[in-house]
A and B are shown apart, each in its own frame.
Chain A
């Protein structure tokens, strides 16, 4: 069975600072994909960044980057130069070859002006 764990229910960061959100997962598959989604109060689900498990290089999208540690089954999200618009729920998700997409419980991020 696949599982996704996010151990930080809530996080806060000062505007312009950097914050890292943690995610660990478990799967017996060797081929899988990892995602971070953002959910603002509007409830819309927005893709932040994605990572293929077979790629060693960490994915980067502008101010967002990941630290993918395959052996440790860890997939953390780093947000640099935090902005007020980054305040949201952040969900880590795992997609395996069986095409299931499983989400973690989420981390609520607050940005302090």
Chain B
């Protein structure tokens, strides 16, 4: 049981490049989330999903896209990378069983855009 797995761990992008951050979980959780954490700051919600085929915007969705074709996978797409997207990105999941279920986090992806 690997939990939430994010790849890659680190990435450097040039301005204008695109990339996909991968996130997969093996706990059969319905809810999945993408957050970004800027240095010394809290986590800002980018997008979230309550099940396969369903996604919704969070606090800071601009410049990102997501898809949820399976329960396990929730990739985050960056189009036309900008320096403002330099951050650590966390994927998280939680079960639907009870609403007080905590989030299970991946180890994060550190992205630098130069």
Interface centre among A101, A102, A106 (most CB of B within 10 A): A101
> What is the interface of chain A, defined by CB distance below 8 A to chain B?
6, 31, 33, 35, 37, 43-45, 47, 50, 52, 91, 93, 95, 97, 99-106
| A-B pairs with beta carbons under 8 Å apart, 28 shown | A31-B99, A35-B102, A37-B102, A43-B107, A43-B108, A44-B105, A45-B90, A45-B105, A47-B102, A47-B103, A50-B100, A52-B99, A91-B42, A91-B43, A93-B103, A99-B31, A99-B50, A100-B45, A101-B33, A101-B92, A102-B45, A102-B59, A103-B35, A103-B43, A103-B45, A105-B42, A106-B41, A106-B42
Bound CA–CA A107/B90 (angstroms): 19
Bound CA span A97–B99, Å:
8
Contacts of A99 in B (CB 8 A): 31, 48, 50
Main secondary structure of the interface of B (DSSP, over half): strand
Contact partners of A102 in chain B: CB under 8 A? 45, 59
Q: How far is the CA of A43 from the CA of B9 in the complex (A)?
A: 12
The answer on a CB contact under 8 Å between A100 and B99 is: no
1/0 contact string of B88-107 vs chain A (CB within 8 Å): 10101010000110110101
Q: Which of B41, B58, B90 contacts A105 (CB 8 A)?
A: B41
| Complex interface bits, B55-80 against A, C-beta within 8 A gives 1, otherwise 0 | 00011000000000000000000000
Number of B residues whose C-beta is below 8 Å from A? 23
Residue on B nearest A105 in the bound complex, by CB: B42
Residues in A with CB closer than 8 Å to B92 are 45, 101
* Most-contacted residue by chain A among B41, B50, B103 (CB, 10 A): B103
A112 to chain B, nearest CB (A): 21
A50–B35 Cα gap in the complex (Å)?
A: 20
> Which single residue of chain A is at the shortest CB-CB distance from B33?
A101
What are the nearest 9 A-B pairs in CB distance?
A45-B105, A105-B42, A47-B102, A103-B43, A106-B42, A103-B42, A33-B100, A50-B100, A99-B50
